[in-house]
Amino acid sequence: MNTIFDMTPWGLLHDLLNIDTDQFNHVWKNLECRAAGRFPPVNVFTDDDAIRLEVLLPGRTAKDVDLTIEDDAIVLADHPAEPEAKDGKPAEKRAPAWVRKIQLPFRVDEAKANASFKDGILRIGLPKKVETPAHRILIEC
């Protein structure tokens, strides 16, 4: 019997588990965090003018989360506590326990972005960036 692919579900799982790339490890770490309940759920609401996000972080404070706006995404990350120095040597900075990157449907105006934290809910407002149409400039002779 001729087959295009000689693949079994167990072989595929074996291949996935033996991949040693940073991207796969990052995805796997996020899946582990989600399964353990450490990955915060996010509600996303959009309209024509803005995007609103609600991140559920019970028992946490605003200092526990880092927010970064990239070109077309917002990145939420756990802000690990600063490790204490031992024997006068600076301690190594710990990596975040979880990182979540949410792609945005349009570019946002970073200057007008806002965030508030109350009762374990982080609310983020990201207004749409108003694109100015191109206009012609006359060249004087």
Per-residue pLDDT of 49-91, as tens digits, reads 899 999 988 888 888 888 999 878 899 888 776 766 667 676 6
pLDDT tens string 92-136: 666 777 788 888 888 888 899 999 999 989 999 999 888 778 888
- Per-domain residue ranges for the chain? 8-39, 40-127
User: 3-state SS string over the chain?
Assistant: CCCCCCCCHHHHHHHHHCCCCHHHHHHHHHHHHHHCCCCCCEEEEECCCEEEEEEECCCCCHHHEEEEECCCEEEEEECCCCCCCECCECCCCCCCCCEEEEECCCCECHHHCEEEEECCEEEEEEEECCCCCCCCCCCCC
Choosing among 1.10.10.60, 2.60.40.790, 2.60.40.60, 2.30.130.10, the CATH entry for 40-127 is 2.60.40.790
Nearest to 78 by CA among 40, 109, 52: 40
Q: Which of 88, 110, 106, 93 is nearest to 44 (CA)?
A: 106
Q: Please give the Cα distance from 53 to 45 (Å, whole number).
A: 6
